[in-house]
């Protein structure tokens, strides 16, 4: 049995190879292209699947994604059918997402964007601030990351709600289940955070109709996938004043092309897909846990339901 890692990003050789080597030190760990006998490879670790992966490993038992979102794996023609896929659940990534989302929620809640603009033109003005209890933060997608962000925000006093397909029963959170409850979920959400997986059901879910149901002056934080958002609908709602601002970390095309209107829109903050990055040491430990679970016949955390798409 051997585990094969295929470096993909420039950071992989200096950071991921040593982290994985340490976490898997007692296993037969190989780094592409030095895969050795293909029949020995039982697990692949990486960011993508490649043409060889469909046929080259006759004894492949699992693919371990270093990404949390796995739509690229599932959509790839190179994905070997029937091989279990485990997505990344990394405490380092989770902390990154929680701090990013909390940072933008607080920025919008305290209207720091507005205060910065005023200060830049020498304006000294203020209003009575809104209490956190009176501001509702809604998570579209209330899974691993949505719940972690909610736990970070609840102590500030925000009204927190989550939308998903199944009940979580998190104390202090109002939960909305399934498509019939989407409109009522949106109606009182002042800051909408998208943390859905990209599936056929969720593509283009942030559109003129859904975003239009948010209260006047609300905000969007999209940290899930670019294809959740209909870009021109967001711009129309910001320009009409219905939405007050947006923080966008993910885009239909990445890198976001030079000259894209999002870069210069006064109500949009663009970040380069950095809200939550899998960290090599904690991520390699997660790979190790998943491999141990698989070896002992346990269900690894993050096992993907291929039919469901996440
Ligand atoms: P999870 O699978 O744990 O959570 C997904 C949530 O979405 C679940 O609550 C699920 O419901 C809900 N959901 C899925 N489909 C629907 C639907 N049709 N209607 C209603 N709810 C639905 O994923 P994570 O929280 O770990 O990650 C979410 C996404 O965040 C990833 O898929 C990825 O795209 C993105 N991401 C972005 C990163 C970045 O750097 N910008 C980093 C990491 C992740 P239920 O719980 O009932 O199944
Ligand atoms: C992920 C991501 O899915 O970085 O992990 O977007």
pLDDT computed for residue 63 by the predictor: 98
pLDDT computed for residue 296 by the predictor: 97
| Smallest-distance ligand from the CA of 71 | 1
pLDDT computed for residue 72 by the predictor: 97
Does residue 201 have its Cβ closer than 6 Å to ligand 1? yes
Which residue pairs from 69-74 have beta carbons closer than 8 angstroms and sit at least 24 positions apart in sequence? 69/197, 69/198, 69/224, 69/225, 69/310, 70/197, 70/304, 70/310, 71/197, 71/198, 71/199, 71/225, 71/309, 71/310, 72/48, 73/48, 73/49, 74/304, 74/306, 74/309
- What atom in ligand 1 is closest to the CA of residue 67? 43
Query: What is the distance between the alpha carbons of residues 175 and 182, in angstroms, rounded to a whole number?
Result: 11
pLDDT computed for residue 263 by the predictor: 98
Per-residue confidence band for 96, with pLDDT thresholds at 50, 70 and 90 = very high
pLDDT tens digits, 14-53: 999 999 999 999 999 999 999 999 999 999 999 999 999 9
Nearest CA-CA partner of 225 in 95, 81, 102, 74: 74
> Where does residue 260 rank: exposed (0-12), middle (13-18), buried (19+ CB within 10 A)?
middle
pLDDT computed for residue 15 by the predictor: 98
User: What average pLDDT does this structure show over 275-289?
Assistant: 98
pLDDT tens digits, 229-270: 999 999 999 999 999 999 999 999 999 999 999 999 999 999
pLDDT computed for residue 276 by the predictor: 98
**How many beta carbons lie within 10 A of that of residue 236, not counting itself?**
15
Query: What is the distance between the alpha carbons of residues 21 and 37, in angstroms, rounded to a whole number?
Result: 19
Instruction: Quote the ligand 1 centre to 94 CA distance (angstroms).
Output: 12
pLDDT tens digits, 181-235: 999 999 999 999 999 999 999 999 999 999 999 999 999 999 999 999 999 999 9
**Over pLDDT 90: what percentage of the chain?**
100
pLDDT computed for residue 219 by the predictor: 98
pLDDT computed for residue 58 by the predictor: 98
Angle ∠(200,206,212) on CA atoms, nearest 5 = 140
pLDDT tens digits, 116-130: 999 999 999 999 999
Q: Which two tokens stand for residue 219?
A: 């905000």
Query: Hey, whose CA ends up nearest to atom 43 of ligand 1?
Result: 68
Instruction: Quote the ligand 2 centre to 124 CA distance (angstroms).
Output: 41
Binding-site residues, ligand 2, Cβ < 6 A: 67-69, 88, 278
User: What average pLDDT does this structure show over 125-136?
Assistant: 96
pLDDT computed for residue 124 by the predictor: 98
- Return mean pLDDT, the chain: 98
User: What average pLDDT does this structure show over 62-77?
Assistant: 98
Query: Hey, whose CA ends up nearest to atom 40 of ligand 1?
Result: 276
Distances in whole angstroms, Cα of residue 274 to Cα of each of 11, 199, 266: 14, 21, 21
Pocket perturbation via mutation, ligand 2, pick of 65, 68, 91 by most ligand atoms within 8 A of CB: 68
pLDDT tens digits, 73-89: 999 999 999 999 999 99
pLDDT computed for residue 171 by the predictor: 98
Is 72 marked active-site? no
């Amino acid at each position: 049995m051997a585990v094969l890692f295929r470096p993909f990003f420039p950071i992989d050789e200096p950071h991921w190879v040593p982290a994985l080597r340490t976490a898997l030190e007692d296993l037969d760990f190989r780094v592409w292209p030095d895969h050795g006998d293909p029949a020995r490879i039982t697990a692949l670790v990486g960011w993508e699947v490649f043409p060889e992966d469909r046929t080259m490993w006759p004894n492949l038992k699992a693919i371990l994604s270093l990404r949390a979102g796995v739509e690229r794996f599932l959509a790839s023609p190179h994905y070997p059918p029937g091989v279990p896929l485990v997505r990344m659940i990394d405490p380092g990534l989770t902390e990154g997402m929680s701090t990013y989302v909390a940072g933008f929620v607080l920025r919008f809640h305290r209207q720091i964007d507005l205060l910065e603009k005023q200060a830049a033109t020498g304006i000294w003005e203020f209003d009575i601030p809104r209490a956190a209890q009176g501001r509702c933060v809604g998570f579209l997608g209330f899974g691993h990351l949505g719940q972690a962000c909610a736990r970070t925000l609840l102590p500030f006093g925000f009204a927190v709600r989550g939308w998903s397909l199944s009940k979580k029963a998190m104390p202090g959170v109002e939960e909305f289940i399934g498509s019939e409850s989407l409109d009522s979920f949106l109606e009182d959400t002042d800051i909408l955070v998208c943390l859905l997986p990209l599936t056929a059901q969720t593509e283009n879910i942030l559109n003129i109709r859904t975003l239009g149901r948010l209260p006047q002056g609300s905000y969007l934080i999209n940290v899930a996938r670019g294809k959740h958002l209909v870009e021109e609908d967001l711009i129309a709602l910001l320009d009409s004043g219905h939405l007050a601002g947006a923080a966008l970390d993910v885009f239909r095309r990445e890198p976001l092309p030079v000259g894209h209107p999002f870069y210069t829109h006064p109500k949009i903050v663009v970040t380069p897909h950095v809200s939550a990055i899998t960290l090599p040491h904690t991520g390699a430990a997660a790979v190790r846990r998943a491999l141990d679970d698989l070896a002992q016949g346990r269900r690894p955390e993050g096992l993907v339901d291929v039919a469901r798409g996440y």
